Amino acid sequence: WLAGRLGGKAVLGFGVLWWSLFTLLTPLSAFTSFPVLIAARIFMGLGEGVAFPATYNLLGRWVPLRERSRAAAFNLSAIPLGTLFAVTATPFIAIWFGWPMVFYSFGALGFIWFAFWWYYAGDRPVTDSGADTLAGADGGAADRSVPWRQIFSKAPVWAIIVGHFCNNWGLYVLLSWLPSYFASQLGVNLRSVWIFIAPPWIASFLVSNVAGWIADRMIASGRSVTFTRKFLQTIGFLGPAVALGLLAGTTDAVTAVVLLSIGLGLASFTFAGAGCNHLDISPRHAGIIFGISNTAATVPGIVGVALTGFMVDQTGTYASAFYLTAAILVFGWLTFLVFGTGKQILD
């Protein structure tokens, strides 16, 4: 909604600036008191929350149908790439310079990024030829009237919401618990655990961009957008579900890395499936729909992570948590398979 009124460039730019500021303030907040630290992290999250909705607002204006999958997948591939950078750089920064420098470094990067973004980015094409090329994605001038009732009454919107929720359940569980899983269950030294965590995120980054290319090629060759999205979503949900099921019975660290790399790699097909379906069903309101689905998809970051910890405490292993995550992925796949569509259903 903000991106529609103020432009995706401003909302994304100042969102990054906002969360970078509170990242810089995190060490000071921690030294002050625990409540102040919690408040700082909440304010940081408020800034992070605008990132993808604002990005999808821009993609809906800039990107034509023939490039939509690649653009969305490339954008979403920043998730594993950023995770890879963080899990590999953080231990070294913390060991060499102390843990506060981790937050100072990442916060400073945000300010540097903002300077480049503000200078080079734009809300819409600046040339007539560019505008003509992108007209299919832009849909005209920004419409400040949001059809909220229509959005929430459409089954394909709910298919995206459920899919996003289920996808992020797996994402947040792995983000939060992989280091502990390798250290406590597989006996990997915490100082070297990043070596085992990095390959799955590398696989995810690489496959996500391949998936975007495959999706655009399928559509260009005559496959319907609906078939393409559901086909890739099937790979992206069922593949990781099988990998997690096998991971539940694994006791070897190398085998676990292989299964996780396969699982997260296949999961990246969702970036060109439901992950860019917002742009299909409503290019004009893609940012708003992503904001809605992303709001639901933050819930697993609290519930999924906490429930996983509870299950591990109760059972002493990660097996039940992995089985539950696999079941949730299957549910998300079925929901999108039945109710999803690649057709535009909203102006």
DSSP, residue by residue, 18-58: HHHHHHHTHHHHHHH-HHHHHHHHHHHHHHHTTHHHHHHHH
Instruction: Name the phi and psi angles at 146, rounded to 5.
Output: -100, 125
Q: In this predicted model, which residue has the larger pLDDT, 252 or 66? A: 252
343 DSSP assignment: S
Q: Are 215 and 248 in contact (CB under 8 A)?
A: no
Q: How many CB atoms lie within 10 A of CB 285?
A: 27
pLDDT of residue 219: 93
Type and span of the H or E element at 235:
helix 225-247
With bands split at pLDDT 50, 70 and 90, how would you rate the model's confidence at 3?
Answer: low
The residues, ordered by sequence, that sit 6+ positions from 271 with a Cβ below 8 Å of its Cβ are 72, 73, 76, 77, 208, 211, 212, 236
Neighbouring C-beta atoms of residue 195, cutoff 10 Å: 15
Ordered structural domains, the chain, with CATH: 2-136+147-339 (1.20.1250.20)
For residue 17 the two structure tokens come to 């600036």
pLDDT of 79 reads 86
First-to-final CA distance of the chain: 15
pTM of this structure: 0.84
* pLDDT given for residue 144 in this prediction: 61
Question: Does the pLDDT of residue 152 top 60, yes or no?
Answer: yes
What's the pLDDT tens digit per position in 179-188?
Answer: 899 988 898 8
96 falls in which pLDDT band (50, 70, 90)? very high
Mean pLDDT over the full length of the chain: 88
